[in-house]
């Protein structure tokens, strides 16, 4: 009898272990459970990881967000860039036509190196007399506006961009 009790205990333990294993692996679960199974409207909100920043990094995050806010507070460019920036000029024609003319004119100016061009953006990345800047072509009501922009996205007013714009204006403006 002692041996049958011991065998019964071992068998009971084996059945209990198997049931526990099967129950925890999900073999008998019916349907999906958890928040992801709920309709999107009733799911709890998820907090993005960058909002769960440890206290030591809060100052760095605040500085970054304040610089982004100051960039967003900049006034939007005017509908006519010529009114907002005296460093450029307007050329009659479509943006695409003027972009091609600007490319030809840039190639003709001695000392200009075109690093790249992006017709969809209307910009040439150029190097001239030790300065790197963009020559931009933007569509306006009167045609296309040609200007120079520094790496910060502000009007390029240094000597080299001003000189190059003067040469382009002489070649392109009527």
10: left (phi > 0), else alpha (psi -120 to 50), else beta?
Answer: alpha
Q: Report angle CA 49, 51, 56 to the nearest 5 degrees.
A: 105
In the numeric block, the tokens 């967003």 are attached to 72
Q: List the structure tokens of 52.
A: 């769960």
How far from 78 is each of 5, 25, 44, CA to CA, in Å?
92, 63, 42
Show the domains of the chain with their CATH numbers. 2-72 (no CATH), 81-172 (3.30.310.170)
Query: By three-state DSSP, how is residue 90 classified?
Result: strand
* pLDDT tens digit at each of 174 positions of the chain: 556 667 777 767 677 667 666 666 655 555 556 666 777 767 676 666 666 666 555 555 555 554 444 444 444 444 444 434 457 899 999 999 999 999 999 999 999 999 999 998 899 999 999 989 999 999 999 899 999 998 888 888 889 999 999 999 998 876
């Amino acid at each position: 009898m002692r041996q049958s009790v011991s065998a019964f205990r071992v068998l009971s333990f084996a059945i209990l272990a198997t049931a526990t294993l099967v129950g925890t692996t999900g073999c008998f679960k019916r349907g999906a459970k958890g928040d992801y199974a709920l309709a999107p409207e009733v799911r709890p909100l998820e907090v993005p990881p960058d909002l769960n920043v440890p206290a030591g990094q809060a100052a760095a995050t605040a500085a970054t967000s304040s610089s982004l806010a100051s960039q967003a507070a900049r006034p939007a460019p005017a509908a006519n860039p010529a009114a907002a920036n005296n460093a450029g000029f307007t050329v009659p024609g479509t943006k695409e036509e003027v972009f091609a003319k600007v490319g030809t004119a840039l190639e003709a100016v001695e000392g200009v190196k075109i690093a790249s061009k992006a017709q969809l953006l209307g910009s040439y990345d150029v190097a001239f007399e030790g300065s790197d800047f963009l020559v931009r072509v933007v569509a306006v009501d009167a045609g296309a506006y040609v200007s120079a922009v520094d790496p910060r996205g502000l009007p390029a007013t240094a000597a080299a961009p001003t000189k190059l714009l003067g040469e382009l204006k002489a070649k392109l403006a009527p």
